[in-house]
Amino acid sequence: MTTLQETIHPQAKAREWKAIVILILLIPVLWSPPFLFRIFLFQPFNIPSGSMTPTLVVGDYVFAAKYAYGYGRYSFPFAPSWISGRFRATDPEYGDVVVFRTPKDTAVDYVKRVVGLPGDRIQMRQGQLILNDRPVTRVALKQAFAGSTCGVDDGAKAKRWRETLPNGASYVTQDCVHNGYYDNTDVYTVPPGHFFVLGDNRDNSSDSRVMSSIGFVPMDNLVGKVTRIFWSLDQHGEPHMERLGKVW
């Protein structure tokens, strides 16, 4: 017993001193402006899929404001799993483009648009969003080339609509297929403490309509609000300068 203690004890002390030295060396990094900027203010993300076309496309790089909805478990890397709730919590508004984690896959960041808040009734009818039994206002726009965002021929065109939510939030959605798989749904009633999201590319987005994978999203799973496209590259890797700016 004595021999074992004498063997382990010096090793434990050595590990403690190493940890202290590492922490001391990390202090300048932890308090550096870039680190604080990313942890507490804005976090960069890149867009890997076309589910938010035309608002966000593959090749876009965006900033998400982490302070917009308060800070919770998913606001910081390597946060312990026992953390719950949000500090300085604020709920999203209709039309916000948000970054979040799903209860079924907390390792992946998703980007979608908020269209339903606690207590709301959401439904899709023939491709039109119904909010609390009222069709959301939408105006048909000129068709546009969809490229690969509809999963069909690159030369195919898609319908586009300008949709306006009750609070005035306005944005453009893409309709790839008439009466597609997600264009007609049951009524979803958003439970307390949750929100409902859709992708702007309505026929090619896995979102809250898919209860088996995303469904209703807990408020505590918010990471931040997407505010700005700060860089964008087209399919050939060339800068897409006209896309830089605020996300609506």
**Helix, strand, coil fractions of the chain, as percent rounded to 5:** 20, 35, 40
Give CA–CA dist 170/35, Å, rounded.
34
pLDDT tens-digit readout, 103-148: 888 889 999 999 999 999 999 999 999 999 999 999 999 998 887 7
Name the 3-class secondary structure at 136.
coil
Query: Looking at residue 234, what is its pLDDT?
Result: 86
- Between 104 and 38, the more confident residue is 104
Is there a catalytic annotation at residue 112?
yes
pLDDT tens-digit readout, 198-221: 999 999 999 999 999 899 999 999
Is there a catalytic annotation at residue 212?
no
Query: Looking at residue 202, what is its pLDDT?
Result: 95
Give CA–CA dist 70/96, Å, rounded.
15
Query: Looking at residue 105, what is its pLDDT?
Result: 87
* Strand ranges for 29-176 from DSSP E: 42-46, 60-65, 71-72, 86-87, 97-102, 105-116, 121-125, 128-131, 134-135, 137-145, 157-164, 170-175
Rounded to a whole number of angstroms, the distance between the first and last alpha carbons of the chain is 68
Kindly name the residue from 51, 205, 208, 232 that is annotated as catalytic: 51
Kindly name the residue from 66, 112, 159, 225 that is annotated as catalytic: 112
